[in-house]
Amino acid sequence: MKKTIPEIARSIADGIATVCTAGELKDRVRRDDIPTVEEIDVVTCGTCGVMSGTCAVLTIPVAEPGVFKRADAITINGVPAFPGPCPNEGLGIVDCIVYGTARASPRYGGGHLFRDIAGGSELQIEAESKGKRYEATISGHEIPYARLCTTRSAFCNYSAFVNQKDKEQVTIFSVIPFPGNADGATVSGCGEINPLANDPDMRFIHTGTPVLVNGAPGLVLGCGTRSSRARPNLALSADFFGMDPEYMGGFITSAGPECLVSVGAAIPVTDEDALANLLILDEDIPLPVVDLIDRSQVDMTRYSRVWQGTSLTVFEEHDACILCTPCLAEQSCPTGAIVSGHPIDPTHCVSCGTCTRVCPGKVYTMNMGSIPVLGRETPIILRQSDRRRGERISADLKNRILCGTFQIQI
């Protein structure tokens, strides 16, 4: 049987379409309850994780028209931005580009700023023009133009990293300095629910495809940088208006702030080939293990080692706290989800697992699994992707399709 995308869109509009999340479909596959093309119309996929190639294009109101000619420099909450490309001569506004990896301090960067903009927080603006400083305070929601652009997101088949040197390394691939001698592995990627894992030929996810970016409607611009047939990724764009701060934010690595992004995409089940691709499981998806320094491949495993039989959330046992000063878990949490003595803030926690490594009282525990590296079981010490949020954005997208607020094709 074959269905066209307009036919599927009509079924959705008529309220007779069957839409499921990738997670729901994989559960059926594991029960050997494989649906037919007739039975299922759309599968929604999602991913959430550190996506360094993210930036924002902003128009920042700074002063009344005529107060300065053009800005030479600008910071927002201390995060440096690049003024331009439009000079906005004499308008008192500054167009600028902010990198998600730009930093105001070791604990605050572009990713944090993007979450603050989406949440409507107060922002401190400092601009410079011809040696004079201009300051303004605005709320994130007062920015007249704010658009997020990603240059490399939703990477399919990302890598696990190990540090084979005998010394620990400071790197964006580790929150605490990365232990040497391959004593731990860090991983990224949401495996079987990743959009491109389910559409490996990019039949349905390509330039112009509607997607959810941090919960806001967005579009695929095309392939991202370093995208290849074997390991594709996407460039995306979306307005900040409508973004849910819980899907985004900053993530502090041992080498400084990085940027979290969540992406949801819908795959229409048009024919047997589309369905066959959607049946992929974590067990089928390769996860190359590479050396942190030279990126040479040292082993190969599967995403099932990361996401099957492991935990998606952290368990807390506060009675075990030995009241160390300072609280190492609070100091190390890359998202600011821990304030000592309080439950983890679930709106910030991405289940990365760092607190389970650093807390001497074992207040925080989570089964993160292990991967084989050169014949040795190596514990996973950090997840830079959050499967739970990937599932949440998939479910969010499913609901929007069913209630008619998200069109699967333009």
Kindly give, in sequence order, each residue whose CB lies less than 8 Å from that of residue 59, ignoring residues fewer than 6 positions away: 93, 94, 95, 143, 144, 145, 146
d(CA 225, CA 350): 25
Q: Which is nearer to ligand SF4, 273 or 345 (CB)?
A: 345
Establish if 156 lies at the interface with ligand SF4 (CB under 6 A): no
From the CB of 257, what's the least distance to ligand SF4, in Å? 14
Is 349 a residue that touches ligand SF4 (CB under 6 A)?
A: yes
Residue 152 neighbours by CB under 8 Å, 6+ apart: 51, 52, 53, 224, 225, 226, 227, 233, 234, 235
Min CB(407)–ligand SF4 separation in Å: 34
Among 359, 380, 381, 393, binds ligand SF4 (CB under 6 A): 359
Residue type, position 152, single letter = R
Shortest Cβ 219–ligand SF4 spacing (Å): 30
CB closer to ligand SF4 out of 80 and 336 = 336
Query: Is 381 among the residues that bind ligand SF4 (CB under 6 A)?
Result: no
Residue nearer to ligand SF4 on the CB measure, 241 or 315: 315
Nearest-approach distance from CB 255 to ligand SF4, in angstroms: 17
Q: Is 354 among the residues that bind ligand SF4 (CB under 6 A)?
A: yes
Q: Which is nearer to ligand SF4, 16 or 322 (CB)?
A: 322
Q: Does 230 bind ligand SF4 (CB under 6 A)?
A: no
CB nearer to ligand SF4: give 155 or 364. Answer: 364
Number of residues interacting with ligand SF4: please give it, by CB under 6 A. Answer: 27
Residue among 148 and 352 whose Cβ is closer to ligand SF4: 352
Return the HEC string of the chain. Answer: CCCCHHHHHHHHHCCCCCEEEHHHHHHHHHCCCCCCCCCCCEEEEEEEEECCEEEEEEEEECCCCCCCCCCCEEEECCEEEEECCCCCCCCCEEEEEEECCCEEECCEEHHHHHHHHHCCCEEEEEEEECCEEEEEEEEHHHCCEEEEEEEEECCCCCCEEECCCCCCECCCCCCCCECCCCCCEEECCCHHHCCCCCCCCCCCCCCCCEEEECCEEEEEEEECCCCCCCCCCEEEEEECCCCCHHHCEEEEECCEEEEEEEEEEEEECCCHHHHHHHCCCHHHCEEEEEECCCCCEEEEEECHHHHCCCCCCCEECHHHCCCCCCCHHHHHCCCCCCCCCCCCCCCCCCCCCHHHHHCCCCCEECCCCEEEECCEEEEEEEECECHHHHHHHHHHHHHHHHCCCCCCCC
Q: How far is the CB of 214 from ligand SF4 (least distance, A)?
A: 17
Q: How far is the CB of 313 from ligand SF4 (least distance, A)?
A: 8
Which residue among 338, 371, 397, 408 contacts ligand SF4 (CB under 6 A)? 338
The smaller minimum CB distance to ligand SF4, of residues 52 and 351, is found at 351
Instruction: Tell me the residue nearest to ligand SF4 as measured from the CB.
Output: 361
Q: Minimum distance from CB of 48 to ligand SF4 (Å)?
A: 12
**Residue 107 or residue 165: which is nearer to ligand SF4 going by CB?**
107
Give the nearer residue to ligand SF4 in terms of CB position, either 230 or 323.
323
User: Does 260 interact with ligand SF4 (rule: CB under 6 A)?
Assistant: no
CB of 108 to ligand SF4, least distance (A): 16
Binding mask 298-337 for ligand SF4 (x = CB under 6 A): ----------------x------xxxx--xxx---xxx-x
Binding site for ligand SF4 (CB under 6 A): 314, 321-324, 327-329, 333-335, 337-338, 340, 344, 349-355, 359-361, 363-364
